[in-house]
Structure 1
Amino acid sequence: MTDRPVLLQTIALLPSLERALADTYVVRRLPGPGPERNAFLAERGTEIAGVVTSAACGADAALIGALPHLRVISSFGVGLDRLDLAAAAQRGIPVGYTPDVLNDCVADMAMGLLLSVARRLPEADRYVRAHRWQAGGHSPFPLGRQVSGAKLGLVGLGRIGRTIARRAGGFDMELRYHARRAVEGVAWAHEPRLLDLARWADFLVIITAGGAATRHLVDAAVLDALGAKGFLVNVARGTVVDEAALLDALKRRQIAGAALDVFEDEPHVPAELLALDNVVLAPHIASSTVQTREAMGRRVLDNLSAFFEGRMLPSAAAN
């Protein structure tokens, strides 16, 4: 027997984080979906005091309901759309996550994607590797789009959105943003209508929350408003963009291009999207740096430590 709290780990985490968890807690690994998971929850569910999960995996109402003595959830990541906050709140279970520590890296990634698609950097890399440059002037590399001084529209102005906005200032970009309500204390112009923001912008960067409320917020009408000279960058959630409408807009050159770190059905990316030259694609890596992932791991531990020591969680989701 042990007096150490028992945690349920739902997904593989950083080895350093897993070691730190094992040093302090009794850690049980959740089996994959199916009979083995059902049997595990029936046998061990009453032991579990905390769940350690990730933004990609989450914790749904069924899992929460199968753990009658669950007291806290600590999630590795900033996304909350796969965490059933309502089910947790109904039981009075606090939910910790890892905001702030990844703001800089996600903002860096957004600007990197923006530069890559505007200046056609992946396409230029392929051009050189295929020895087309050495071939002379028969197929000169096409011109890109200047970023400095361009108009940047942000869909969302939370922690990461404001960090992106500060990065854009270094490029002398004019900036406006769309959110449900104006954000107090910022100098950037609020655009109440997303369609109007898209019509104005040269680059439309998506950095709003995922979930049902924002599903397909960027649809065919928004893409049409962005227009043939406009670029879309998504570092939020794939569900915010209607992927079928985006694919159609890219194929018809209705918009100039897109740079995507997220997709509707990850890790599955439509084959037609892979075949296009006017897109830059990344495998959901906006926060994937050694420094940021270590900071996220520390925040997961800090949230758990605070709870079991009777203190407020450093980063608690509003539920």
Structure 2
Amino acid sequence: MLCHQCSYTYIVQWFVKTTISLSDTSSILLNALQQLKGRIPIELELFLYKDDYSIKAFTLPRKDKYLCAYTYFNKNIVHVQSHWSCTLSTALNNSLTCINTVALNGRSSQTNLEFLSYLLTIVSCRQITSLTIYNSFDLYQLRLLLSKMIHLRTLELFYQFDYDLDDERNKQNVIKLFNDTSLCNMLMSNGLKKLHFYTDWEYPDTIGIVSLIVKQLPHLEIIELNCQNGSQVPETLHILINGLPKLNFIIFHGVLTGENEQESKMRDLPNHCKRAYRMEDLREHTNAPILHVWLQ
């Protein structure tokens, strides 16, 4: 029995190892609602997998901070609510009261269009402060979104290598957003402070991408980089420290290659930087090589 007194979101999830079809979900969700009945209305989220399914129960109103377009529009995910209509727009409306982060996948253009048509009508985009984008995104859709997110502070860009494209096309997809000056100006006007940039393959030109970032997003205060490339660490840090006057913190995923020339450049880096900084190598404390840089 779910607690009648809770003033926060209570979440329960369980998995069932059996194969079902989409037509079975109504009876399964109805039975689950009966078992979890209480004074507090709840929402159930059923995920269909190949050999099993899972159900996640939320007390309402949900206190989510994060909303992924895929979760609400994937055909293998079913939502139902007790005490409230279970239409999609109502489910979204009841779930978005606390949302400040939205996630979209650039490889699901049609899903994103459908998602945006709901999002822009039922939630105030003024409350969205963080946007997460996976893969190369349609710039028209992104421009529409950014025109509404006037308080956006954090942008996370995660790029996966597309094996249907050659290396050059993958590289162009990564820099496409940063080459669009009007979009970058919009990000700065909206007050963007933090950028997290990630590729799941060794991006060959870290210097080129950070040079574009410095040029197009000059007011960044925090930047996190993970390009799977440790061959250009001193050059990358030099560009960021000298090129972004408001920058105060860098998180760099990568490790020095161990070459004598690179080690020498790192030791000499303070002599070529306009600002003082403190650097911490977290290799001893984490499984992955990470550099933290605090700027003064």
Please, what TM-score do these two structures have when normalized by structure 1? 0.29
Select the structure that is richer in strand. Answer: 2
